[in-house]
Amino acid sequence: MSPRPLPSENAPFEPALALAHEGRLDEAFDALSAALGGTQGRGPHRGAAALAFAELARLAEAAGDLVRATRALDEALRLAPAYADLHHQHAGLLIRLLQRPAARKALQRALDINPRYIAARLELALLDAREGLLAESLSALRALEQERRVEEPRAFQRGLKSLARADWDEAGALLKSALKVSDPVVDRALAEYHTLVAQGEHERALHALRSAVTEHPGYPDLHYLLGCSELEAGMADDALASLGRALELHPDFHAARIQFARALEALGDLVQATEQVALILREDPAHRQALELQERWVRRRDLRGRSGHTPHQDPREAA
């Protein structure tokens, strides 16, 4: 769910992006514009500059600054009007601004450029549903299901049910997860979280994730990210609750179940933790992290059996 990486020609724009990651958005915009002038805005630098402005737009949007996000994305589209992903990003911003007709045009433009653009097709289907065109939305989603191998069919079916009961937030999250489509809601939360962590603001970073979960309670990925952060901070009880909610929304979310098992281990409930890992291995016998946890716990039991006591275990030990 990470943003598309900038190409190798982005070197002239890296100082400007560093400013953006520090939250100095106006300075970053000016620095990007100056760097673009230095490259004459031609050749590979034009595309790299467009992606740099798109990254600036993502950071501004994550900070809740939709005005600066719009300004940066307008510049990105001016530089690279044939980039379908920029039109898709623009559509997401327009949806947040409640400009649905304009968002529909942006999505259609992305599909004119790339008719097989799964993310744009999904977003258009979700937009249809929001506007009362449920039959058209379900038809489009069924077509996607037929054309693309759905790796998590249960999540897809749960997403359709959420759509039918007009739970747009949950439906979008589950359908994007099932189709392995990047979600801008999650991307924004990640961008803000990593920016704050890089600044040493760990408490604010955790608070930002909690705010994102409160604003978008139907997103299993957000509950998962929050749970992972809480577990890393040694807050095993909170992590268990967050990860449990992720699994309520998306029972096949193996990454969340791994972390749920680790939280149980940290709380001393190795029996339940082992059962959670067994659930994963029942569905995916080759799941690497589940096998590693299982093997580690078997070694611990063997060691305990030989020594008569349980060896010390750091509850935050990586799986």
Cα-only R_g, the chain: 22
Residue 236 in domain: yes
Instruction: Report yes or no on 312 lying in a domain.
Output: no
Residue 169 falls within a domain, yes or no?
no
Q: What is the mean pLDDT of residues 247-276?
A: 92
Is residue 98 a part of any domain in this protein? no
Is 110 part of any domain? no
Residue-number span of the structural domain to which 40 is assigned: 1-81
Domain boundary residue, one of 49, 81, 113: 81
- Looking at residue 9, which CATH number applies to its domain? 1.25.40.10
Express each pLDDT in 171-219 by its tens digit: 998 998 888 888 888 888 888 888 888 888 889 889 989 998 998 888 8
| Confidence band of 87 (pLDDT split at 50, 70, 90) | very high
What long-range pairs does 110-117 form, CB within 8 A, spacing at least 24? 110/84, 110/85, 111/84, 113/82, 113/83, 113/84, 113/87, 114/84, 117/84, 117/85, 117/88
- Could you give the number of structural domains in the chain? 2
Domain boundary among 81, 116, 151: 81
- Tell me if 175 is assigned to some domain: no
pLDDT digits (tens, 9 = 90+) for 26-71: 998 998 888 887 555 555 678 888 988 998 998 898 888 999 999 9
pLDDT bucket at 10, cuts 50 / 70 / 90:
low
- CA of 24: how far to CAs of 29, 56, 63, 78, 171, in Å? 9, 10, 11, 22, 35
Sign of the CA dihedral with 101 first, then 61, 7, and 176 last = negative
List the end-to-end C-alpha distance of the chain, in Å, as a whole number.
Answer: 21
Which of 33, 58, 81 represents a domain boundary (last residue)? 81
Instruction: State if pTM tops 0.75.
Output: no
Residue with the larger pLDDT of the pair 20 and 107: 107
